[in-house]
Each structure stands twice: as structure tokens, then as C-alpha cells.
Structure 1
Amino acid sequence: MSTETPQGLLSLPDELLRSVFEHVTALELAQLQQTCRRFQRIGADPLLWQDECLRVFRWWDKHHQLESKRNDPSYGDWKQLLATRYTSSRNVQRALSGLMSDETNRLDRIKDVMDLGYDAKDMLFSQWVDAESSEMFLAQKYWSHAVLGSLHRLMACEEWAYLRQAQGDIPNETERSLAALDMFVLGERVEGDVDDIFARLDSYATSVREANPEIDTFTPRQIATTVAAHLLEHNWIGISDNRNYHALDHMFLGIALFSSNRNSVPLISAIIYCYVVRKFGLRASPISYPFHVHALIQPAPTSTTDLDGNPLPTDTPLEPFSPLTHLYMDPFLTADPISGTYLQNQLRFIAPNSTPEQITAYLSPSSARALTIRAAHNVLAAPNHYDGAPLFPIPMHAAAFGAMLALILLPSPAPGAAVHPAQISHYLSIVTQHFAHYFDRDVELFSQHVLPVARGLANATSYGALVQRLRNRDATPQVPKLRSAAGNEVVKFKVGQVFRHRIRGYLAVIYGWDSWCRMDEQWIVANGVDGLGSGRGQPFYNVLVDDETTRYVAQENVILLTREQLEELGKPEDSFPIEIGIWFRRFDREQGVFVSNVRESYPED
């Protein structure tokens, strides 16, 4: 935009000018401010810059305290805040460019992004959405996906750390803790993070109020049953569509709120229900009843009336779990109350060895920690009960990783009730296996949140050593493999070529090679390499297979696809998982090969 003053605009009154300024970009507004004092004054309105902040950036790190700023009329530094966010986005873009262009020091670049917190998400998400228009399509798609996943997982662990360290009661602690678990499976979905979860829960409460405009005059019992009936009527809790109870997608709060069928197991249904009930002034908490979570509804702490609005007796103390003040619900199944006496009697059959203290705990509000750990166990157990595909797609390894992290990161329920070190060690070993095999770029998460848990264990140094090995490997340049080097002339195929396995028939793409088999003797024997026509002395290729595995294939088993066969595939890049972007930039249709992005390792391919 020209810095000369637009004469036509100067003839407009201030209120119309401000309206015009609402429809220009931040850069254009800044340029307009430079043209004359009048534009500078009108363009300095903080609300203009606030609107631009909220229009340009959807996701905000907690340290900004965005809601507090929005509700504070005296806060006027929105223009500087917008500039800060633009700087953060440029830093994210710079880090992504480095991840795509260099094969070393990637962990440092990922850390640069993690240090920006949730502010990094806008740029990561836009890079993922816009990847197809890039010359580095596959690489941009993969690295924006990978770093966004790392960010989500780190944010989840930081949420748990905050809940663990906070003093006193935390509003909506249970919902926040369960929402953090959802971050592990959020992926690139636009909706479903912690803020979205609370917005959706609030919309449920709004829906209840709109359907029952007189609800503020209802008794606690009427509110409890009205909310349950409304949620069940809309299929917002419980399980419908004859779906299997143990399907993995039923175990997550966010997925229950944003999936098409809104299915959830009793624990999640109770959490949703209790949140909505609390919006109408009552106390409402899930209880960790054996095998089936229920909900406990009580009048507000300051209330002097019972569940039916009648005055509470003042001359005699109430019995424990009095039906005057304790209303039990099973919102997963019904809108009708459940007798507390019935629940106590059932415990004689389903938990016959329970102590009086345990019975009290089963019928009392459960802690956020206990409910999250119960949810984590549900996630881990679900595939054992039902191995079918969830209706809502969930990355299995990420779900398990999040569940196991919950088991080691959440605080103990009470002093002296810490998890036994042997159990912590067992959980840590599984977390570490997942970290090493599937999430080895989550070094910041592992260093900040897992290593402190391991410090008290006998083998604590081994966990730190793993991180150091990963850092060393990342910082060490690969020794280039030259096709022109002596002995490599036997290597027939190149990085980026697509083939089918001669015997097994799977589709694969080559991302690396050796001039002879470099696997250990055990692998060679187990795979019958010496029984091949050319044995272990022939070239072997590192390949990515269309079933999302990586394999090591003998040269004699590589049958390159013809141009016609490649055309039959349509878009060959769609045949492979997103991880193909680790090694390739895009598919070159003219050459019929994937364009290498491992040129430091294979400069002549």
C-alpha cells in the first residue's frame, strides 16, 4: 500500500474511517498510520488491534492470559502482542525450513518450536494445511505434522505438571486432566484441544438452559434429572449405534464431544454430566465406583436446603451419605436417580473384601488424578477387549504413550500413598520403549517430565544416557555414501525409486542402500539371507513399505515399477504413510521417482 495519504479517505468522518480500518490487514493498518496524524490516532484504537490478534491467530499459549486481557478494558498493548505473535510465527517457519533442509541438529530446531509453547500451533497447522502447494510437499507435510504432535504431547504433560504443583482447589481440575489425555490423539483436527473441550461442554449447558428456561427455580433433584435426560435425549452421553463398549474412541473426553456419534464409557459420560450440572450451581463429581463410574450430586456448599428444596434439620447431624444431601446418578444409562443404599448393598457382591474406608471412597467424590488414571487404564485395556477399528480414527501408539505417561506423571492421591517404585519402574520402561521407537523427537518432553520421575530409581542414569545418545546421533552428520566410490558400482537402484517385492508383492520406495548386507548375523540367519541367489554379498536397500513399515530388502527382490504401473497408482505419494516426508520432498511425475531429501547422506542419488 502506498504511504501517500488516500485523499478520499480523509473526507470521511472518524467513525466511518474506523469502520474502514476494521477491514484492512495489520500490515495495511500500520502503513495507513504512517500517512498522517489523523490515521495514526484512529488506527491506534486498541480494539482494532485486538480484533486483528483474534482474527489472525486462533491458538494462544497460556502465559498470555488472553481471556484476562480481553476482559480488561485498560489493556491496550494489542498491537505489540500482535507483533510478538508474528515474530513467533516467523521463528516457527524458520525452524521448519531447517528441519526440511538439514539432516542434523533437528532436535535443536524442534526445541526452538517447543519453547514458543502453544503460540507455535498456528504456523505449524497452516504449514500442514498448505503443504501440497510447496515444492517440499512431503517434507513439509511430515515435519509440520511431527512437530505439531510433539507440541500437543508436551502441552499435555505441562498441563498435568501444573495440576500436580498447584495449591488448593483448581476449577474444573478433572476436565482439564482428562482433556490433556486427548492432546495425545488430537493430530491435525481443528477442534478438540483443551479450550475447545470446555467450549463444547459450555454449549451443552447452554442447550439445557434454552430447553428449560425456568431451571434456576428447580430443586437440586430436578436439575440433576433434567440435565441427565437432556444429555441422553441428544445422545451426548452413553453409547449408541450398537457400537462396542470397549472401542478405543469411547475412552476420550474430547473425542466423545467432537465425534459424530458422541459415544463415551460411563467414566467419560459422568464427567460430561457433572460439568454441566455444576453450571447450575450444584456440586457434582464422578465417583470411582467399581466397574462402573457413577455421579454424586449435592446442594451447593452454602445451601441450607436438601435435594428437594426443603430446609435441612438443624437439631441433629446428618448421617453419612444422607439421601437428603447425596443424590447418586448413572447418567450413562438413565436419567433416574440411583439409591445410595442400593450402591452400598451392591458393593457386598462386587467388592466383598472392601474395608469401611474403601466403601466410603467408592461413594465419595473421586479425585482428578484417580479418574485420569482410571481413564488411562481404560485406554490401555481397550484393544484387549475389542480389536476392531474405532469409528473415530485414533493413533494407537500415541494413545498408549499418553496413557502410560499419565500413570507416571500424575501425583499420588494422598501423602504416603505413592506408587511403588517397582511399578513406576515398570511404567517407565514401557514409556521409554514408546519414546525410543515412536516418539524419539519428543526429547524435550522426556527430559522435562520423564527424567525427573526416574531420578530416584537404581537405573536412573540409563534414561539420561538414552537422551544423550539421541542428541549425539542427531548432531552427527551422516557419512555420505557415494555411488562413484569403489565397490558401490554394484548398487543398481537409487533413492526415490518405487518397486514391488519380487516374492511378497508389497509396494515400497527406496530411501537408502548398502553395497552388501550390514545386518548382524542373527538377522541374516533368521531371514535366510544366505539362501538367496546372491546371498549376503549383494546390495541391500532400506525401504518404506505401503503398510507403514520399514524393511531391508535384497537387490534381487527389487522389481521397479514401469511408467505405466506408476500411472495406475494415480498419486504414488498417497500409497505411503506420512513418514515418507522424512526422506523425500515430493513425487516427480516426469521422472517417475520421489525427489530425495537425504542428499547429505546420498549426494549422488
Structure 2
Amino acid sequence: MDNASFSSLPSELIVRILSFLQVSKDVLNASLTAREIYSCAQENEVWKNVIERWAYSKPLTSAVKNWKAYYISRHRLDLHIDDTVNKLIYRPEPPNNARIPRFREIPEWDLDCKDRLLQHINSPKEGEDFLARKFWAGTLLKTLHHRLALQQWQKLIAGEDTSLERALAAFDVFIEEGDGVDFDYVSNKLDQMALVFKRDWSDYDSLSTRGKALLLAHYMLQYQGFSETTSGSSQSYYNIRNNFIGKCLKSPTKAGMPLIYVAIYCALAQRLGLDARPINFPGHVYIVIYPPEGVDLDDISRAPNQPADCMYLNVHSIETLEVKETTLRQTLAANDPPILGREQERFLQPADTLTMISRTRRNIMTCLHRLARHPTELGFHQTQGEELVYQFLWINMIFDNDDINVWERRHTHVGYLRERVENMHIGDWYLFQDIVLPVFRDQPEHDALQSSIHNARLREADVGAPKFRTPTLRKRVKYDIGNVFHHKKYHYTGMIIGWDPSCKAPSEWQTQHRIEDLSGGGDQCFYNIVSDDGIERYVAQENMRMFHGTESPGEALMRLAGRYFLRWDEENRAFVSNLKEEYPDD
């Protein structure tokens, strides 16, 4: 009997075997061996399995019809991302050496690029350019998250139909911590919770509207961990983390602000066919429930001319779950100042998404003000604390529907925002140009802001003439690019990114900083440095004490170092320079 060849097997079996191949290269190589195998290698099952083994963070969509074409498009995107990251690390020769324009491509990307960027961010620490790769890929990913969040809020402000869950998820997306919490996570988590609820309570559809509303509230509070003990305390109220719907859904304790609980309840209700909406009550957030057309809350038929009834829920306390309308009206009347008559109606009617997002903004502002006095209550890692402030500055630029002092606030904050973009978020210059600049079109700051964008591009692209270390300079300039030091007077830690053989700062700056009082005055080497708070400074040589022994940079400096350096050299206790064009001898 002749030996049967692989290509002579039934096509269904060949497809099944090919689907076990781990990488696309193996599939392509196999497809070149015989015409029959080539035909089988085009099947969707083969390429769908290859793609699933990539373990993309974005869920694979059932809308994909041609999985090979989908793979090819993702592969091309990955190659483009690789090229962008590498050109940010190793700048091409002028005039193509500018980094800022490379971030202009990000509007063409979506979360499909996240997986490849994470591969760069999580590259091996032993790599020759580990810190630079982590920094620039991370900057691309942050810029992408910032853009997606800001775009979501811009759509909301423009009047586009936006769900509350998605508008709230934008707060999570903006400060995404690498925990996978994004728009898809929030939506999928709520879908999953609704499916589990329907599975566990199979008689749900047989209940009246009132019964459904109360059952869902009990389910959240008693079975899903959404408890008044995690939402009602003062400590919980001022924990800024509890303003984020994604963090609440991901947390084992389900800690969240009352507004977040209301949003989750309404999102689940919508998936379960229940008409539940938030109301913007003073000092609290309640839910209003409406029955279907033609029946009341207890599923009893009502006449066409009979007004529809409704019920109010307080989903933060199982003891006072259903709240009577008369109680709410009495609370409004007892308000200071009292809210009476027809004025009460707007606090008892459903609130739109923009109103609830503005309320979330105010809640975050309250938490940030408290954190200024109680920094230990942050609830986030310190680096996320800075990201929260940055997010708040952006929100203040685009939301103005509930603040009579909007322009006073914008005039105050725009300088802080511009400074943070320049020092810590270089990838966001185009967002600043596209979003902030139009806001200030008729304001006195407009021209100065436009100039700052132009000047930032020029500074970033201009590496300057090379500074060689002549024998004389080697004696005068004691420290190298990449050295890390403690400031003797102000006690911060910093890293050297540039030097001048003597002070080149303007005379006004020298007078302001009393340079003449230094023992060496201005006639000593001065260094451009980045401190561990992300600020660039100009420091006299006599004020610096270099790291010694086993001292290593802290996490803050390591996070910032990739903008200027390739990696940390443990043996030499210094960063490996990525500034060779300007400082070739360092």
C-alpha cells in the first residue's frame, strides 16, 4: 500500500491540523508545500486560531468575516508601531528627526495598537534600550488613551448620544493603569453581570416593574458586593478612586461613590429591559424607575389618560431602598435655600449624561482639594495622582456647562496644563493644539499659547551643535550626561541631561537665584537636569552630590529617564546616554 501524503487527507482534517500551528509563519510555510494545503490554509478557522493565540487585550469581534485579512491588517499595524517606536528612540537624521510630529499619527489608531505597544513597554529589562523603549511606547499609549477619553467627552458636549457608562469609563481610560480597564472592559463586565443575574434569577421576567427594580437592587447590594459600607463612609466618599466606574467594577470590594452605583444599576437595568434613570438630587443621587407603556409599576393596566407613575430608589442602603416622592419633596423644601414648587420638578426628573458627568467632575475636584490637605488618602499610586491632576486640568478646559467661573478657572489652569504637556506629556502637544487652542481663540492668551506650541516643536527638533569635551573642559565639567545626584540644598534627586562650562542663564535669572552668592558664582559648570518631580532645572556644580556606593534612582526618575537615556548601567551607576548628537563624548 502506498504511503498517503498529508495533502491527500480530507480537507476538513487538514484545516483542523493547520489550526494547531502556533504562528502565521508556520501556516504560510505549510501552504507553500501543496496546492491542496494552500487552499485549506485560507480557511477562517486556521487564521482565527492564529489570532486568538496572540491574546489580544481587545476582545475579538464576531463581525470579522475574513480572519486572514484581519490578521494581515493587524500585522501591518504592528510593523508601523514598531517603526514609530524605534524612530522615537533612535531619531533619524535631520530634517526627519523631530519626535512631536510622530504623535500626529495617533488619531488614525485605536485600541487595536494597545497590544503591540504593551509588548514594547514590557520588553526585557536586560535590553540595551529598555528604559527608552518603555518610555516612548508608554507615551504613545498614554496619548492614545488621553485622545480617546477627550474625544468621548467632546462628543457628549456636542450633543451626540452617549451612554452614562461610556462617558464615565472615559475617566478610567484617561488614567489607564495597565490593568486593562477601558471602554470594552466596562461594557463587557456589565454584560457579564446581566447574564449572571438572568441565570440566577430565572423568574425575573415574570415580576412586575416594582419587583424587578427591587430585586436588582437587592442583587447588587447583597450578592455582588455593592455595599453601603463601601459607599457611605466619609473615608470612602473622599477616596478619589471611588469616582471611577471601571475601578469599582474591577475591585473585589466594589468600592464606589453613590453616583457610580447608580450608573451601574441603570446600565444593568437597561440590559434587563428595565427603564431606570439617574436623578440629579442635591447632595445625593437617586434612581427613578418607569413602568412600560399601558401599565403601572405593579403591572396593572392603566387608562390612556392616566398619568404614568414612577418609583425612586436609593441603591446605597438596603434599609431605605425605596424612597417615597413625598420624602424627596420634603427634603428639597428643607434645603438651604429651600427648593419649592415647580423648581422641585427638575430634581425629580431624569438627568442627562452631561449633567451626571459634570457632577462627577465636581466630585473629583472636591477629592483633589481634600488631597491637598490629606495626601495619604489618595487611593492611587503617586504617579496616578499626578495623572489625576492632569486629567482634571483637561476636564476644566472642555466642560463649562455648570460653572459660572469657567473663564476664571481656565485662565488659571491653562498655564499648568501647558507646563505639564511640555515636561511630562510630550505626546499631547497635538491634543493641546486641537482642543485647547480653539477654546482660547478670542482670549488674550491665544497668541502666547500658539507660540508655545511652535517653540516646543523647534526646541524638540533642534539638538544643537555638538559639545565636545576638550582637555580644558574635562577638568572643568566634572560630571557626565546620565549621572544621578542629590541636590545639597533642596534635597531632591535629579539626572543630568546637559551642561554648560559656565552659567548661560539670563542675568535676571542669575539675580533672582542669587548666583553671585555661590562660592563659584556663575564661573563654574552649570547642568541642565531633570528632577524626580519631572521639572527641568539649571543647577550649579557645587550644589550637586553624586550618587555613590549602591545608590540607585527611585521609581520616579526611572520612569522619566527613558526620554533621554537608553537604560540604567548598574556597574557604572549612571544612565546610558541617548543624547549623543549633542554630547558625543559623554
Question: What residue in structure 1 maps to residue 134 of structure 2?
Answer: 141
Question: What residue in structure 1 maps to residue 217 of structure 2?
Answer: 228
- Contact kept? 1:480, 1:600, Cα under 8 Å: yes
Question: What residue in structure 2 maps to residue 321 of structure 1?
Answer: none
1:388-467 counterparts in 2 under 5 A?
Answer: 388-393=376-381, 395-409=384-398, 431-457=417-443, 459-467=445-453
CA offset at residue 543 of structure 1?
3.1
CA offset at residue 161 of structure 1?
3.4
Q: 1:251 aligns with which of 239, 243, 254?
A: 243
CA offset at residue 384 of structure 1?
1.7
Name the SS for the 1:537 alignment partner. Answer: coil
Question: What residue in structure 2 maps to residue 385 of structure 1?
Answer: 370
After superposing the two structures, state which structure 1 stretch, 261-270 or 539-548, moved more.
Answer: 539-548
**5+ residue gaps, structure 2:** none
- Looking at structure 2, the residues matched to 485 and 246 of structure 1 have their Cα atoms a distance apart, in angstroms, of 59
Work out whether 1:261 is the aligned partner of 2:253.
yes
- AA aligned to 1:156 is A
Question: What residue in structure 1 maps to residue 153 of structure 2?
Answer: 160
Q: 1:309 aligns with which of 299, 304, 325?
A: 299
CA offset at residue 139 of structure 1?
0.7
Q: 2:311 aligns with which of 327, 332, 342?
A: 327
- Looking at structure 2, the residues matched to 503 and 445 of structure 1 have their Cα atoms a distance apart, in angstroms, of 37
Question: What residue in structure 2 maps to residue 186 of structure 1?
Answer: 176
Give the count of matched residue pairs. Answer: 571
After superposing the two structures, state which structure 1 stretch, 376-385 or 480-489, moved more.
Answer: 480-489
- Contact kept? 1:548, 1:577, Cα under 8 Å: no
- Contact kept? 1:488, 1:515, Cα under 8 Å: no
1:108-133 superposed Cα distances (whole Å, 9 cap, x missing partner): 22223443233321211111011524
- AA aligned to 1:112 is E
1:262-296 superposed Cα distances (whole Å, 9 cap, x missing partner): 21111111101111122221111111111111111
- Contact kept? 1:59, 1:122, Cα under 8 Å: yes
- AA aligned to 1:476 is D
Name the SS for the 1:105 alignment partner. Answer: coil
Q: 2:329 aligns with which of 344, 348, 370?
A: 344
- AA aligned to 2:363 is N
1:479-509 superposed Cα distances (whole Å, 9 cap, x missing partner): 3222228667411111122334445555443
- Contact kept? 2:547, 2:573, Cα under 8 Å: no
Q: Kindly tell me: are residues 354 and 457 of structure 1, through their superposed partners in 2, closer, same or farther at Cα, counting changes over 3 Å?
A: farther
Question: What residue in structure 1 maps to residue 562 of structure 2?
Answer: 581
Q: Kindly tell me: are residues 379 and 544 of structure 1, through their superposed partners in 2, closer, same or farther at Cα, counting changes over 3 Å?
A: same
CA offset at residue 378 of structure 1?
1.4
- Looking at structure 2, the residues matched to 80 and 411 of structure 1 have their Cα atoms a distance apart, in angstroms, of 44
Question: What residue in structure 1 maps to residue 108 of structure 2?
Answer: 115
Work out whether 1:274 is the aligned partner of 2:255.
no
CA offset at residue 426 of structure 1?
5.7
Work out whether 1:288 is the aligned partner of 2:285.
no
CA offset at residue 249 of structure 1?
0.5
- AA aligned to 1:285 is R
Name the SS for the 2:20 alignment partner. Answer: coil
- Looking at structure 1, the residues matched to 513 and 435 of structure 2 have their Cα atoms a distance apart, in angstroms, of 39
Question: What residue in structure 2 maps to residue 21 of structure 1?
Answer: 18
CA offset at residue 216 of structure 1?
1.4
- Looking at structure 2, the residues matched to 166 and 547 of structure 1 have their Cα atoms a distance apart, in angstroms, of 39
Name the SS for the 1:99 alignment partner. Answer: helix
- Looking at structure 2, the residues matched to 246 and 448 of structure 1 have their Cα atoms a distance apart, in angstroms, of 33
Q: What value does the CA root-mean-square deviation take over the aligned residues?
A: 3.1
Q: Kindly tell me: are residues 41 and 526 of structure 1, through their superposed partners in 2, closer, same or farther at Cα, counting changes over 3 Å?
A: same
- AA aligned to 2:63 is K
- Contact kept? 1:509, 1:545, Cα under 8 Å: yes
Q: TM-score, normalised by structure 1?
A: 0.85
- Looking at structure 2, the residues matched to 418 and 531 of structure 1 have their Cα atoms a distance apart, in angstroms, of 48
Question: What residue in structure 2 maps to residue 529 of structure 1?
Answer: 515
After superposing the two structures, state which structure 1 stretch, 463-472 or 519-528, moved more.
Answer: 519-528
Q: 2:166 aligns with which of 159, 165, 176?
A: 176
**5+ residue gaps, structure 1:** 1-5, 319-323
Question: What residue in structure 1 maps to residue 63 of structure 2?
Answer: 69
- Looking at structure 2, the residues matched to 383 and 121 of structure 1 have their Cα atoms a distance apart, in angstroms, of 29
Work out whether 1:130 is the aligned partner of 2:111.
no
Q: 1:58 aligns with which of 56, 59, 63?
A: 56
Name the SS for the 2:218 alignment partner. Answer: helix
- Contact kept? 2:208, 2:299, Cα under 8 Å: yes
- Contact kept? 2:467, 2:584, Cα under 8 Å: yes
- Looking at structure 2, the residues matched to 485 and 157 of structure 1 have their Cα atoms a distance apart, in angstroms, of 53
Q: Kindly tell me: are residues 456 and 50 of structure 1, through their superposed partners in 2, closer, same or farther at Cα, counting changes over 3 Å?
A: farther
Question: What residue in structure 2 maps to residue 151 of structure 1?
Answer: 144
Question: What residue in structure 2 maps to residue 541 of structure 1?
Answer: 527
Q: Kindly tell me: are residues 438 and 576 of structure 1, through their superposed partners in 2, closer, same or farther at Cα, counting changes over 3 Å?
A: closer
Question: What residue in structure 1 maps to residue 461 of structure 2?
Answer: 475
1:156-205 superposed Cα distances (whole Å, 9 cap, x missing partner): 122233444565x45xx11111111211110322x200000111122222
- Looking at structure 2, the residues matched to 591 and 420 of structure 1 have their Cα atoms a distance apart, in angstroms, of 52
- Looking at structure 2, the residues matched to 290 and 146 of structure 1 have their Cα atoms a distance apart, in angstroms, of 40
Q: Kindly tell me: are residues 272 and 239 of structure 1, through their superposed partners in 2, closer, same or farther at Cα, counting changes over 3 Å?
A: farther
1:71-90 counterparts in 2 under 5 A?
Answer: 75=65, 77-90=66-79
Name the SS for the 2:538 alignment partner. Answer: strand
Q: 1:99 aligns with which of 49, 66, 88?
A: 88
After superposing the two structures, state which structure 1 stretch, 418-427 or 474-483, moved more.
Answer: 418-427
1:410-449 superposed Cα distances (whole Å, 9 cap, x missing partner): 5969xxx999766665665664454345434302222333
Question: What residue in structure 2 maps to residue 560 of structure 1?
Answer: 546
Q: Kindly tell me: are residues 165 and 32 of structure 1, through their superposed partners in 2, closer, same or farther at Cα, counting changes over 3 Å?
A: farther
- Looking at structure 2, the residues matched to 47 and 396 of structure 1 have their Cα atoms a distance apart, in angstroms, of 45
- AA aligned to 1:35 is T
Work out whether 1:10 is the aligned partner of 2:2.
no
- AA aligned to 1:176 is R
Name the SS for the 1:80 alignment partner. Answer: helix
**Percent same amino acid among aligned pairs?**
25
Q: Kindly tell me: are residues 34 and 207 of structure 1, through their superposed partners in 2, closer, same or farther at Cα, counting changes over 3 Å?
A: same
- Contact kept? 1:247, 1:383, Cα under 8 Å: no
